[in-house]
């Protein structure tokens, strides 16, 4: 799903939003511009450098760090260093990791975003070919990693301090809730063996207002406004039924803030329970009608969304 334009917070994350937009929080999720080395996570890690020695980071991993450096900090290339090595097992390719994170403005030294210290965030997927693999490498669980991120025309240079809290081994890939009775006149959904949906639209005019239908009712936590969810989704255009975006095609759930998406998607998520599968059809007014020139500006859109997890998002202190 393509979302509202992002306030992108780092050059490293410029191509890293699996969903091209969010409410401003950093979300490095996809492949950065540099190609990943072939030696797995250890080889994929960003290089260390003298610039990282300028950082003075105090505090125990898992707790909010105290970070000092002489600002402005000149960052010419992405670098990382393991500030404190944990006692757990080294990270491995394809694992899902719960983390805490502090972001600072390299020009001023001010903390701009924090998350994961008071309430868990949804886990992130670590691989040699994505930005999280480059930032964390094969750091052991319990480690604290600092990353220096150069600025760009769209974003300021930043310092990330990331704590590797735990590996999550039971991240679901599909909704597991109880099937709900179908609603007449709504699009129909068929699921493949892996859970990927195929959406068939009715031969009718599209609805004038957003319609949300629960297909499966989950037994997990209720999704609150402003939380970040982990979800699988497929979206089709009502005009021709074609798929225009799908996390299933990328073989990986996507994380995003409920307030960072188009209005129709927010209506589909907030108040639902984790484990649910939701069908939502939204007119342009709740989709991309307010984005002149957008390829979906005049489209009514239908999504099937599997809500897999919810948690706190990063916030400005």
pLDDT per residue as tens digits for the range 7-33: 333 434 433 322 223 333 444 444 243
Same domain, 190 and 70: no
Same domain, 185 and 259: yes
Closest CA to 1 of 24, 21, 29: 21
CA angle 223, 121, 151 (to 5 degrees): 120
- At which of 168, 196, 220 does a domain end? 168
Task: Give the gyration radius of the chain's Cα atoms.
Answer: 20
Whether 173 maps to a domain, the answer reads no
C-alpha 56: how far from its chain's center?
29
Element (H, E) at 171: none
pTM of the predicted protein model: 0.87
Which residues, at least 6 apart from 181, have a Cβ–Cβ distance to it below 8 Å?
none
Whether 149 maps to a domain, the answer reads yes
Handedness of CA 295, 296, 298, 299 (dihedral sign): positive
Min mean pLDDT across 47-51, 92-96, 242-246, 293-297 is at: 47-51
Element (H, E) at 306: strand 301-311
Diameter over CA atoms, the chain: 64
Token pair, residue 222, equals 């209720």
User: 237 by DSSP, 3-state: which?
Assistant: strand
C-alpha 20: how far from its chain's center?
10
Token pair, residue 242, equals 């074609």
In CATH, what number is assigned to the domain containing residue 85? 3.10.50.40
Given this model, what pLDDT does residue 200 score? 98
Please state, for a pLDDT cut of 90, what percent of the chain lies above it.
84
- What is the residue-averaged pLDDT of the chain? 89
Same domain, 184 and 162: no
Same domain, 264 and 298: yes
Which residues, at least 6 apart from 193, have a Cβ–Cβ distance to it below 8 Å?
none
* Residue 52 DSSP class: G
Residue 301, strand partner residues? 237, 282
* Count of domains forming the chain: 2
- At which of 138, 168, 198 does a domain end? 168
* Residue 53 DSSP class: G
Same domain, 193 and 227: yes
Categorize the per-residue pLDDT at 153 as very low, low, confident or very high, splitting at 50, 70 and 90. Answer: confident
- Enclosing domain of residue 214: 178-311
Instruction: State mean pLDDT over 300-316.
Output: 97
Given this model, what pLDDT does residue 154 score? 83
Residue pair 21/5 in contact (Cβ under 8 Å)? The answer is: yes
């Amino acid at each position: 799903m393509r979302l509202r334009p992002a306030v992108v917070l780092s050059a490293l994350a410029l191509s890293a939003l699996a969903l091209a937009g969010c409410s401003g929080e950093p979300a490095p999720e996809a492949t950065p511009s540099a190609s990943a080395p072939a030696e797995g996570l250890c080889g994929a890690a960003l290089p260390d450098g003298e610039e990282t020695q300028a950082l003075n980071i105090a505090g125990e991993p898992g707790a909010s760090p105290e970070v000092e450096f002489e600002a402005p900090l000149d960052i010419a290339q992405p670098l990382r260093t393991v500030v404190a090595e944990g006692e757990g097992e080294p990270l491995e390719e394809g694992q899902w990791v719960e983390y805490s994170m502090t972001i600072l403005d390299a020009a001023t030294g001010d903390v701009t975003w924090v998350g994961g210290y008071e309430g868990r965030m949804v886990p992130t997927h670590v691989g040699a070919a994505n930005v999280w693999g480059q930032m964390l490498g094969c750091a052991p669980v319990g480690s604290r990693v600092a990353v220096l991120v150069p600025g760009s025309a769209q974003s300021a240079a930043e310092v990330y301090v990331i704590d590797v809290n735990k590996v999550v081994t039971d991240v679901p890939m599909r909704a597991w809730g109880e099937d709900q009775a179908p609603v007449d006149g709504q699009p129909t959904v068929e699921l493949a063996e892996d859970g990927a949906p195929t959406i068939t639209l009715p031969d009718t005019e599209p609805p004038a207002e957003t319609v949300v239908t629960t297909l499966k009712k989950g037994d997990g936590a209720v999704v609150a406004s402003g939380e970040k969810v982990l979800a699988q989704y497929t979206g089709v255009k009502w005009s021709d039924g074609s798929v225009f975006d799908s996390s299933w095609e990328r073989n990986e759930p996507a994380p995003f803030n409920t307030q960072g998406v188009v209005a129709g998607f927010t209506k589909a998520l907030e108040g639902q329970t984790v484990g649910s599968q939701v069908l939502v059809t939204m007119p342009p007014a709740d989709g991309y009608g307010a984005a002149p020139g957008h390829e979906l500006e005049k489209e009514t859109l239908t999504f099937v969304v599997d809500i897999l997890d919810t948690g706190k998002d990063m916030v400005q202190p």
